[in-house]
Structure 1
Amino acid sequence: MTENENTPDPALQEPTPAPESSTLKDDLTFATAPNILTTSRVVFVPIVIALLFRRTPFMDFFAALAFTIAAITDYFDGYLARKQNSESVFGKLMDPLADKFLVVSALCMLQELGRIHPVVVILLICREMAITGLRALASSEGLIIGASNSAKWKTATQMTAIPFLMLKRDVLGIPVYEIGQALLYISLAISLWSAKDYIVEFFRAIRKKRQRKKEARLARKLQSKSKR
């Protein structure tokens, strides 16, 4: 980590009260364009799996196309939520889950087809489970873990690699399968690196929070003694 110890990490911080003008909805509002796009990624999961199950180059192409369309919605739901100032609790909860459903399902199916090594899938899934657990633990401590830049690069690299792995065959002389393999291993490296970042920042934030609590208790004791 190159950041100063006293500089708060934007991906891991204590929640602050939202200003009165904020439009972040405190309910599970669904009927917004960003949330519909987010949910559509989950709808695409069985479509992609069904197409891959046909095990033909023609269906592989449509599986890659369907996955690509679903992946593109990951950009537009966030863009629309910011532009329309319509971020919601549903969107914040469902957006990362929809990404995981889409990516993990595709990875498992590609492993079943023998296109990626099972160890890669195991490492990626274990990483996702570990970070999800870390987020839950952070929440119990009153901390919020947002997506780091490295995690965003990880997701982008995975979503680029997977359609190439689905196509498998060369396209216009371009070895798309080999490119997909290379991108997947790059995403694995980024994934493990970003997990390390999350863990380091989590424990750093926990130490800072507990230190502040200790200082606050000491200050109250000193104030109480001074009044006697």
Structure 2
Amino acid sequence: MNLPNQITIARILLIPVFMVLMLAPLSLGNININGIPLPSTHAAGALLFVIAAATDWLDGYFARKYNLVSNFGKFLDPLADKLLVTAALLSLIEMGLLPAWMGIVILSREFAVTGMRLVAASEGNVIAASGLAKWKTVFQMAALAVLLLHNVPFAGWNLPVGMLLMWAAVVLTILSGIDYFVKNKHIFRQSM
């Protein structure tokens, strides 16, 4: 198994640890961020999420730089991303830090685009990530990281930075979903 695929599998293996840190009834004290107490397990979970999210860039970098792109990696990498995002969204909803409808919009788009990619793959077509989808991912990951830290104010800003980022992510999620289906409607026509 090549290095990029090992990194992707490591990302998947970090997800249960992340979920335990965020949702298990562990009490290991609090840390203070700008005077606001944050459970230390949630701080550790947020850090682990950022590390796991960064491995998405890392595995892609190694795959492209060393020409290690594989069909297994093409399948596993987006699956790992969706599992990580799903785990973070469900954790935030469970903790009352994110409205469920936002999670449903994001997950619905992910399932719909994944379904479209499966239909395309069954006919020998590969649908690459669009530029809009890449921006969607950047905003999703940034929003999730901030919200996992309980949306604490940063640098003295008294703004809900996490929710502002999440609103941008939701808008980009909808727009990129529409973009995928408009640009690839021929795939459904061919498969019917």
Of the structure 1 ranges 31-40 and 196-205, higher mean CA displacement relative to structure 2 is found in: 196-205
AA partner of residue 33 (structure 1): L
| Distance across 2 between alignment mates of 1:122 and 1:47 | 23
Q: Which residue of 2 aligns with 1:10?
A: none
Preserved contact between residue 153 and residue 161 of structure 2 (Cα < 8 Å): no
Equivalent in the alignment of 2:5: 35
Tell me the amino acid that sits aligned with residue 139 of structure 1: A
Question: For 1:130 and 1:189, how far apart are their aligned partners in 2?
Answer: 16
Matched, 1:200 2:182: yes
- Whether 1:185 aligns to 2:155 is no
Q: Following the alignment from structure 1 to structure 2, what is the Cα–Cα distance between the partners of residues 202 and 112?
A: 35
TM-score, scaled to structure 2: 0.85
2-structure distance, mates of 1:175, 1:70? 28
Residue equivalent to 1:152: 134
Please report the TM-score for the alignment, with normalisation by the length of structure 1: 0.72
Q: 1:99 to 1:160 in 2, by over 3 A?
A: same
Structure 2 residues not aligned, in runs of 5+: 31-37
Query: How far off its partner does 1:151 sit?
Result: 0.9
- Report the AA paired with residue 156 of structure 1: V
Question: Counterparts of 1:175 and 1:97 in 2: how far apart (Å)?
Answer: 36
Paired AA for residue 42 in structure 1: I
Given the alignment, which residue of 52, 61, 67 partners 2:43? 61
- Larger-Rg structure: 1
Q: Give the 3-state SS of the residue equivalent to 2:184 in structure 1.
A: helix
- Work out the CA distance in 1 between the residues paired with 2:16 and 2:188: 40
After superposition, what is the alpha-carbon deviation per residue over 1:46-105, rounded to whole angstroms, capped at 9, x for unaligned? 111111124762111111100001111111111111111111111111000000000111
Q: Does 1:94 align with 2:80?
A: no
- Structure 1 residue 159, shift from structure 2 partner: 0.9
**Does 2:167 correspond to 1:167?**
no
1:66-81 aligned within 5 A: 66-81=48-63
CA distance in 1, matches of 2:188, 2:98: 38
What is the distance in 1 between the residues matched to 2:127 and 2:98?
30
Call closer, same or farther: CA 1:73–1:119 in 2, change over 3 Å.
Answer: same
Question: Number of residue pairs matched?
Answer: 178
Percent identical residues:
39
